[in-house]
Amino acid sequence: MADEAQNYSMFNSQALVDVVGDTTDAALKASRIKKFISVLGGRFFNWGQRKSLFPLHLGIKCCALEMAATGGSRFDAERFGVFFRSSPRQCDVLIVNGPISKKFADPIVRLWEQMPEPKWCIAMGECAISGGPYYQSYNILEGVDTVIPVDVYIPGCPPRPEALIDGFGHLRKKIMRSGVKSASGPVGDAPIILGDD
């Protein structure tokens, strides 16, 4: 009797879910609803991703002061749906705002890997782009893109808060483009360089 009860509960949990799942899947495949739902869901998530960016609250050097000003009351990045968070596990944008020493290369890659997908990287300032004043120095990387893929480059020493806000705008356009498929695959994967258009 106990075995029957056990079998009945197993049917309820696993087999029932399988049967309902297969039936629903077959019905959705027969109609075009499945494709419609996946396109609609993809566009909805893409809209949510680009309208609510969560950069990591990480300051490396002087460009970090401009990043702080961007989040402050005068420039108020929250107007544009940009919310700074202090845990990489809650973030989807890494703003690299200073030179990356060889000693700091591993920790910043670790922070990047702790961020969930999908995620994007902004190289803010000359130091993050190429090493800046420390170019070809013995202990500074020649750009953060030697260890992390960069989506948006914002030149300047330092770039002003308006430039960072502009960078977020370009990142939004890139996220929107990356959701569009072309005949040759996803478009919009190339990095964006502010002022290069």
Contact residues: ligand SF4, CB under 6 A: 61-63, 98, 125-127, 132-133, 157-158
Looking at beta carbons only, is 50 or 57 nearer to ligand SF4? 57
Taking the least distance from each CB to ligand SF4, the nearer of 27 and 62 is 62
Report the distance separating Cα 39 and Cα 111, nearest Å.
32
CB of 17 to ligand SF4, least distance (A): 54
DSSP SS3 for 98: coil
Q: How far is the CB of 32 from ligand SF4 (least distance, A)?
A: 52
Work out the end-to-end distance of the chain between its first and last CA atoms, rounded to an integer number of angstroms: 75
- Cβ pair 110, 161 in contact under 8 A: no
Q: How far is the CB of 67 from ligand SF4 (least distance, A)?
A: 10
Q: Which is nearer to ligand SF4, 91 or 128 (CB)?
A: 128
Give the Cα separation of 3 and 56 in Å (integer). Answer: 53
Residues in contact with 154: Cβ distance below 8 Å, sequence separation at least 6, in sequence order:
122, 123, 124, 125, 163, 164, 166, 167, 194
Q: Which is nearer to ligand SF4, 92 or 126 (CB)?
A: 126
Minimum Å gap between C-beta 22 and ligand SF4 is 57
